[in-house]
Chains A and B, each alone.
Chain A
Amino acid sequence: MNNPVTSIKLVLLGEVAVGKSSIVLRFVSNDFAENKEPTIGAAFLTQRVNINEHTIKFEIWDTAGQERFASLAPMYYRNAQAALVVYDVTKPQSFIKARHWVKELHEQASKDIIIALVGNKIDMLDEDPTERKVAREEGEKLAQEENLLFFETSAKTGANVNEVFLKIGENVPLKQAADGSNNGSGLNVRRDNGWIWQTRLIQPRKPLTVAAESLVVLITKVHISFPERFRTEYGGVAAWAVNLCKTVSWNQP
């Protein structure tokens, strides 16, 4: 099946240690690592997402949050169609920095760039709600003023991470011409009756046993993203399924 492929150049900006690389890691590999090393320079990653009949190829620049590399940032966002401006909901300073980035993007980047404002690390609020230092309303207000998409995410639990990218995918004009093929790998998204089914085709390196294969089917079915109203109840189920995915060991027949 030949799907049109749209490339989206996307850049992540934000203060150091707000979780830019973790968000990307969650989106690309569905994984999380505590205490990641800070990025130096910039890292480049790609991820394909199949939304209904379309394939979107995200070309992601994960930039270093360090001030010293700020002068390099224009190089990354100059041709970008989308930007994620990330802040840490527990660090007010990072929100101030996010404002600066939004301003700079509006001044310097291309006019039709889609900017998503992302407040990360909401998982920390589950343990201690007083950790929150940037109110949700503050973020929403800034998003409204500056015409941004707004999300609060947790790269650790995976909450809302894919949604950020999907929403960006929706907002970027899709190519209609069939100039690429969809091999089914990457993230697959299907909308169905208000439910969003996100499946990730796993391509095991070794042939699977029948039992393992049925398990994969099972897991891809469980691993779905729930509509907003169910998220709190079922978010845990999804996270469990993801963890299960990781712990399954593939036996050779």
Chain B
Amino acid sequence: MASSNGNFPDVRSLRSVKSSQTLKVANQGLKLGSKGAASPTLSVNLGNTIGDTSLLPTGNDDSQYEDNSGGSLPRILSIGNLSVMDNSLRSLSSAKRYGTASNSISREITRDTATSGPAPIIQNDADVYGTNTPLNTTPFDRNTDVGGAPENLIDMLAESIYSYAPSMINGKSAGAKRPYVSNEIPNVFSVTERDVIDQDSNSALNKQDKNFLIISYAGKPIYAMHGRDEQVVSFSGIINTIVSYFQVNNEDSIKTITSTNTGQKFAFLNKDPIILMAYSTRGETTSELLDQLDFLYSYLLSSVTERQLHKLFSRRSNFDLRTFLEHTDFENLNDLCLQITNRLYPDLLLNALQSNPLRKSVRAKIHDAILNQLSGDSDLIPRGTLLYGLLLSTRQSKLTAVVRPRGHTLHTTDLQLLFCLVRRHMESGSASKEFWIPVCFPKFNSTGFLYAYIRFLSPEDKSAMVLISAQKDAFFKLKLFGDRLWERLVSDKLTTYIVPRGGGSARCGFRVRDIPAPLVHHFVYKSRRFVQYVMPEVDYNVSGNNPFLDESESSGDPEGVVEYQRKLQSYYQQLHDSVVYDDGDPINKSMLSFVKWSCHGASVEVVGLAWVTPQFELYLLCNDGVRGKEVALRSARRVVSWCRKHEARLFIHDGAVF
């Protein structure tokens, strides 16, 4: 506790500085947050402008709120049962997410309890541990249970096994319990339209719970995830005004506007000559939205480069970037937006890459093969031709092997963009081709292009080899190297590990059931040291399918899988939010946080756990029916000890360094 107590006054002082800079427009229910102070005159204007356009659900009157976004609001509403170990930490934790507006929280609770029906309520049951609590000093000792006798565990297990037979959802008593472990967890989030990036009417636009807009400084629309041009144009004027007002008056950019009683959030990323804005009612933190915007901006740079972008706009500030971007760019932006909003994509949330689990010796052999080939072919590939090489599986964007020069790694964002690019090429079904693609890695060098040689190894398993060079005419050198490397991997019989035959997903990756933690539904484990994460293969089972079938063979319902992924993503996003401040800083270096979601009117309850330490981050969801924190914690320990034990297998340590 000593260290957290020591930390706390600093944090509080930070908070108070922030709140003094926070401007509330009381009658509009809008809160403007920026780093600098704002004058009250603008805020009134602002409120009026947004109110008048009434294109976005601004939430300045209640009826509109009910119509437009009432259904799509993820309600993190009550902080019930906040058992915090230190009193001073309590205020810290509650202040963290909800800002200073504790009044508005209580208001929301009443409103929510008033609306009957299956509106989900999330109970944030957060325990904050200091760095020296017994929990963290002995995280892997299974003997130190936090109460909960073994019988209790068995009860819980039984409950979990029989928990989610479909008959129970309909309210009937579970007379015919299904004798299999449910691999379904309930959705406590409201369902919104998925995957519909259409150019629809105003009302459809208002129903969206998330949107991304990219405009130029002169107010010209560049990209909108949802909404037609004429709709977007009216926004761009407003956005432009807001952003430039703050810039003129504060020399710093506006970050967010939050409407506390509707849960709407507008995040701005000012990248002169481009402004990006995210709108969301999903309750993400500001830093999360800003990360997402930065990801989109990075994509733009990867396609155009920063230098080109500035050149285009310096020539003519009202340049229409859409004429310069290509059809592919908009498709890719759509794809990225979908990936961010409607898929299980922890990469961005955790700022990490997913690695492909492989036996340590196998991975070492692959890396050796690459290095040997590289040194053997030094006449073919003079030093400096190859900058970076990757073997990856794009089915879930997993990294298999890395070749890199000593002392250099590519930034995670750059790799994420590269993965998306490769995945897009893979989807276009052109496995027989080899590609030579100019791509800018914005975090590596935002002013110039690198060239990526992409070769698909197996269309079924979506594996690819990517070799990156700075020389634009190095294609044939890299191609020859790629050919020879592949031959060597074939002769060393390593290809089966890179491209598992028969499409069996069991051999690459792992399942939840491989881990001796029976009550876990799904988890994400990130190693901070390697900036990589692993998660079990997503087992999706449509209710009604034979549960004894291998899920990889029975996943015949892509719609359902998407829905399921999105549900997981929402859970993980909220779990992640429970351990960070709104600006993305961790609340504590080591921390354990339980979150319980429950749903009105249905007997569903989901317990999740976020466990953050300087070494790892674990986000874990328990099966439906698990109600005890002890059980969740016990499972979490088992997962962590399993991941630690298999660290060499799960993560790529150094790669092949030359």
- Interface of A toward B, CB cutoff 8 Å: 16-17, 21, 25, 28-29, 33, 36-38, 40-45, 62, 66-69, 72, 75
- In angstroms, Cα B427 to Cα A36, docked, is 10
Query: A-facing mask of B280-322, CB < 8 A → 1, else 0?
Result: 0000000000000000000000001000000000000000000
In the bound complex, residues from chain B placing their C-beta under 8 Å from that of A25 are 430
CB <8 Å contact, B324 and A68: yes
Q: Please tell me if the beta carbons of B433 and A44 are within 8 angstroms of each other in the complex.
A: yes
Q: Which residues of A contact B143 (CB under 8 A)?
A: none
Q: Are B472 and A75 in contact (CB under 8 A)?
A: yes
Closest to B453 in A: A44
Assuming the A-B contacts A33-B429, A37-B427, A75-B472, are A44 and B434 also in contact, with contact meaning beta carbons closer than 8 angstroms in the complex? yes
**B420-465 contacts to A (CB < 8 Å):** 421, 424-425, 427-430, 432-439, 451-452
Q: Is the beta-carbon distance between A41 and B436 smaller than 8 angstroms?
A: yes
Question: Are A69 and B427 in contact (CB-based, < 8 A)?
Answer: no
Q: Is the CB of A43 within 8 A of B326?
A: no
B331 within 8 A of A: yes
Instruction: Answer yes or no: B479 CB below 8 A from chain A CBs.
Output: yes
| Cβ–Cβ contact A36 & B428, under 8 A | yes
Contact B326 A66 (CB under 8 A): yes
B304 surroundings in chain A (CB, below 8 A)? 68
Interface residue count on the B side (C-beta < 8 Å): 27
Question: Which of A40, A62, A75 is within 8 Å of B437, CB to CB?
Answer: A40
Among A62, A66, A75, which residue has its beta carbon within 8 angstroms of that of B433?
A62
Point out the residues of chain A lying under 8 angstroms from B328, CB to CB.
37-38, 40, 66
Interface string of B74-94 (1 = CB under 8 A from A): 000000000000000000000
> What chain A residues lie within 8 Å of B421 (beta carbons)?
40
Shortest Cβ distance from B339 into chain A, in angstroms? 16
B499 CB to nearest chain A CB (Å): 15
A40 touches B425 (CB 8 A): yes
Determine whether the beta carbon of A69 is less than 8 Å from that of B433: no
Contacts A68-B324, A68-B326, A75-B473 given; indicate if A42 touches B436 (C-beta within 8 A): yes
If A37-B427, A45-B433 touch, does A16 touch B326 (CB 8 Å cutoff)? yes
Cβ of B475 under 8 Å from chain A: yes
Asked if residues A41 and B437 are in contact (CB atoms below 8 Å), the reply is yes
In the assembly, what is the distance between CA of A38 and CA of B427, in Å?
A: 12
Contact call B428/A37, Cβ cutoff below 8 A: yes
> Which residues from chain B contact A16 at a C-beta distance below 8 Å?
326-327
User: Bound complex: CA of A38 vs CA of B332, how far in Å?
Assistant: 11
Cβ 8 A contact of A72, one of B424, B434, B435, B438: B438
- Which residues of chain A come closer than 8 Å to B437, judged between CB atoms? 40-42
* Chain B 408-427 interface 0/1 with A at a Cβ cutoff of 8 Å (1 = within): 00000000000001001101
Chain A contacts for B324, CB-based, 8 A: 67-68
A-B contact pairs, 25 of them (CB 8 A): A16-B326, A21-B430, A25-B430, A28-B432, A36-B428, A37-B331, A37-B425, A37-B427, A37-B428, A38-B331, A40-B425, A41-B436, A41-B451, A42-B435, A43-B430, A43-B434, A44-B433, A44-B436, A44-B479, A45-B433, A45-B434, A67-B324, A68-B324, A75-B472, A75-B473
How distant is the Cα of A75 from the Cα of B427 in the complex, in angstroms? Answer: 27
